[in-house]
């Protein structure tokens, strides 16, 4: 049987020239039909949504209206919204320079990029079934010698997750003891062409109490306009028992809105947008539950975003350590999920609508000089 996803990854990552690949992505040519199809399939599968109305709005290219219909059963009213189609195909690459996105997505070890914010360090990379050092370039020896070369402890647990174009949505995330990596490289290569290896992070007791099997995080979305950086939306994501990720999009958890004081709102949603007023597995009510050290987590994101260039809208997955310190698990500058934000925090992303740039400008950026590590950072103020 032909593995279509693997052949598609090979085409995009290995055959298409890098600049052409980025041009196709930022043009929205491939994403437009994908997100229109997603909207129709979602409407067809939800009896509370008027499928014919959604289809008529899409046919008229009223994408905002179509997505308002998708959110209506959850939000309880038809509020103005930004469609995922417009966001992913236009706004994301209007606000974020495509080359800077590619630079960060392809190298998830933020310290090696010179980004000075608290994050989980990368131990190694796995590219096409071969282990590389954390610089992503130095090949490790084959067999058990690789563990010593990479300082991977055989009895310690490590996490492997996709980077580059395969990253996001919590799919293909694997936890295993260090000793298993040399023998599992081919299996991992079938999941993604590029993965990063990190130590398993033990989070704060509050987050672990919500579901101990997953690393539960808060997804913050921040906007930078000139010298001003502000928070747009915050969503707590909690995994389900037995799952290791908290991603709603992979069917692995629930999410709930967080108010500006760090307290949980009344309703949570799962990956089908079904509402919950308590954690579905424990039965614990979450309305008004206070997130510890919430403002410190917000400040960490705002300060980190202020130090970055050519990246206007970012999503930060932030955990809290056992020592009460915020830790950035992942920085997302492309393919950021916006549906959940707008469903649990209606209207929170509307400020993004005014930042749209034209197709020609997005294409022009593809041919700019590829950024170096120092280009990612704002120059020090005079």
Tens-place pLDDT, residues 156-211: 999 998 876 545 555 668 889 999 988 888 888 887 888 899 988 988 999 998 88
Q: What are phi and psi of 363, to 5 degrees?
A: -70, -40
Q: Which domains can be identified in the chain, with CATH numbers?
A: 4-96+359-369 (no CATH), 100-112+204-351 (3.30.470.20), 122-199 (3.30.1490)
Low-confidence residues of the chain: pLDDT under 70: 1-14, 164-172, 242, 245-252, 281-283, 381-382
Of the candidates 142, 140, 134, the one whose C-alpha atom is nearest the C-alpha of residue 163 is 134
55 is written with which tokens?
């289809």
Helix, strand or coil, per DSSP, at residue 369: coil
Q: What is the pLDDT of residue 305?
A: 97
Tell me the chain's radius of gyration from C-alpha atoms.
21
What is the per-residue DSSP string for 219-235?
A: EEEEEEETTEEEEEEEE
Q: What is the pLDDT of residue 240?
A: 78
Give the helix ranges, DSSP H, for 45-108. 51-59, 63-75, 84-86, 92-95, 98-105
Q: Which residues have a Cβ under 8 Å from the Cβ of 123 and sit 6 or more positions away?
A: 134, 150, 151, 152, 158, 197, 198, 199
Q: Which residues have a Cβ under 8 Å from the Cβ of 29 and sit 6 or more positions away?
A: none
* Sole residue written with tokens 């009895």: 155
pTM of the entire predicted model: 0.90
Of the candidates 110, 127, 249, the one whose C-alpha atom is nearest the C-alpha of residue 188 is 127
């Amino acid at each position: 049987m032909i593995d279509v996803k693997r052949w598609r990854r090979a085409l995009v990552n290995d055959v298409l020239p890098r600049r052409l690949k980025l041009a196709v992505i930022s043009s929205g040519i491939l994403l437009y039909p994908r997100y229109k199809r997603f909207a129709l399939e979602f409407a067809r599968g939800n009896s509370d949504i008027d499928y014919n109305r959604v289809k008529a709005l899409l046919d008229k290219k009223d994408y905002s209206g179509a997505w308002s219909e998708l959110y209506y059963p959850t939000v309880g009213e038809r509020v103005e919204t930004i469609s995922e189609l417009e966001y992913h195909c236009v706004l994301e690459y209007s606000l974020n320079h495509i080359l800077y996105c590619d630079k960060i997505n392809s190298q998830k070890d933020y310290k090696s990029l010179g980004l000075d914010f608290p994050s989980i360090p990368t131990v190694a990379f796995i590219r096409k079934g071969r282990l590389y050092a954390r610089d992503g370039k130095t090949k490790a020896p084959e067999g058990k010698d690789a563990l010593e070369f990479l300082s991977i402890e055989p009895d310690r647990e490590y996490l492997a997750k996709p980077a580059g174009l395969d990253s996001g949505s919590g799919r293909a995330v694997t936890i295993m003891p260090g000793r298993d990596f040399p023998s599992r490289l081919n299996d991992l290569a079938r999941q993604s062409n590029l993965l990063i290896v990190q130590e398993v992070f033990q989070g704060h007791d509050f987050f672990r109490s919500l579901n101990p099997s997953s690393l539960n995080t808060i997804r913050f979305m921040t906007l930078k306009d000139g010298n001003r950086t502000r928070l747009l939306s915050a969503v707590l994501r909690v995994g389900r028992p037995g799952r290791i990720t908290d991603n709603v999009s992979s069917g692995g958890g629930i999410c709930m809105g967080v108010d500006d004081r760090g307290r949980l709102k009344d309703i949570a949603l799962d990956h089908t947008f079904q509402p919950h007023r308590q954690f579905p597995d424990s039965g614990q009510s979450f309305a008004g539950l206070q997130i510890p050290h919430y403002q410190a987590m917000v400040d960490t994101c705002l300060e980190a975003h202020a130090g970055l260039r050519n990246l206007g809208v970012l999503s930060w997955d932030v955990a809290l350590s056992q020592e009460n310190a915020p830790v950035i698990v992942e920085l997302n500058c492309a393919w950021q999920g916006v549906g959940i934000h707008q469903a649990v925090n209606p209207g929170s992303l509307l400020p993004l609508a005014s930042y749209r740039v034209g197709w020609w400008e997005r294409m022009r950026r593809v041919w700019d000089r590829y950024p170096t590590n120092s280009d990612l950072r704002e120059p020090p103020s005079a």
